[in-house]
Copies of this chain bind each other. A is one copy, B any other.
Amino acid sequence: MIIDNLYNEAKGKSPVCLGLDTDESYLPKCISDLGEGVADKIFKFNKDIVDHTKDIVSCYKVQIAYYEALGLEGMKAYAKTMDYIRESGSISIGDIKRGDIAATGEKYATGHFQGDFEADIITVNGYMGEDAISPFYPYLKEKGKGLFVLLRTSNKSAVDLQDVEAGGQKVYLHMGDLIKKWGEGFIGESGFSSIGSVVGLTYPDEFYMLSKTYPNMFFLVPGYGAQGGTGKDLARILKESACAVVNSSRGLITAHKNKTEDTDYAQHIRNAALAMKGDITRWL
């Protein structure tokens, strides 16, 4: 099961999930000066990053919005990036936050668990309930794919809906209970389910509580660095259970900015990933 692989990668390499949310403005001068289309430039940058970090990170999360913003050219770069990550033997997370029902949900499964945009794991939005999740079940069973369902997001206005009190617990805990239930049929050897969740690092106490409430749930944690979370925040949780990978995107892939020699960009990014790994593991 993919979740066992991810668990092993996180234990063996590091819980760092490197986010390839590649904006054109992040490209080093030596790439942006190339006489190629933007898709080729972005892919070249992503490829070099994968080559220089795959021994130290557990997985790559690719935020599709950055690629959709560039239209068809961007989607080409997305497809090539997803393909390269998998070809490199690394785990790819398509951060697509899709969620739709029945025939439409099946189309999303077709689109993101096979073909041009194939990912190992995708993020999904469960507002529509199990009908938006069940179209992926056959791919979890037969192709060893995985899901991270939005549970508790790390943004300020997450409280708008997620914090509404409902029968003694907040809405996000109702979502957590649903994710737990949906995941029960997909628990791997590691004890975790291939249906995990996305939980932000903005509220470390909450995250600790969630990791205790849902011991079979694996977490994708955004919010390290740019969004304020620190390695120390994670320590209490990861010490008790290696139940999460932690994403940083901009904080890593712009590490070469403001350096005099940006031809070494991939090395600067590797160093930033190593520093993040250190910041997390030194507390463990």
Residues on B with C-beta less than 8 A from A116 are 71-72
Contact B157 A69 (CB under 8 A): no
**Residue in chain B with minimal CB distance to A159:** B129
- Of the candidates B68, B75, B99, B162, the one whose C-beta lies within 8 Å of that of A125 is B99
- Of the candidates B21, B68, B102, the one whose C-beta lies within 8 Å of that of A111 is B68
**Copies held by the complex:** 2
Residues on B with C-beta less than 8 A from A111 are 65, 68-71, 74
Interface: A255 (CB within 8 A): no
**Residue in chain B with minimal CB distance to A102:** B155
- Of the candidates B65, B97, B112, B131, the one whose C-beta lies within 8 Å of that of A107 is B65
Contact with B along A122-156 (1 / 0, CB 8 A): 00011111111000000000000000001001011
Residues on B with C-beta less than 8 A from A155 are 101-102, 128-129, 131-132
Q: How large is the interface on A (under 10, 10 to 19, 20 to 34, 35 or more residues)?
A: 35 or more
Interface: A98 (CB within 8 A): yes
Give bound CA distance, A99 to B150, whole Å: 11
Which of A70, A102, A166 is most buried by chain B, counting CB atoms within 10 A of its CB? Answer: A166
Distance of A145 from chain B, by nearest CB (Å)? 15
Residues A151-188 near B (CB distance < 8 A): 153, 155-162, 164-167, 171, 174-175, 178
Interface: A84 (CB within 8 A): no
Interface: A203 (CB within 8 A): no
Known: A108-B65, A108-B69. A129 touches B162 (CB 8 A): yes
Give bound CA distance, A79 to B117, whole Å: 17
Residues A88-117 near B (CB distance < 8 A): 97-105, 107-108, 110-112, 115-117
- Of the candidates B63, B104, B105, B110, the one whose C-beta lies within 8 Å of that of A104 is B63
Contact A164 B174 (CB under 8 A): yes
Contact A68 B130 (CB under 8 A): no
Contact B171 A157 (CB under 8 A): no
Give bound CA distance, A129 to B164, whole Å: 11
Contact B178 A101 (CB under 8 A): no
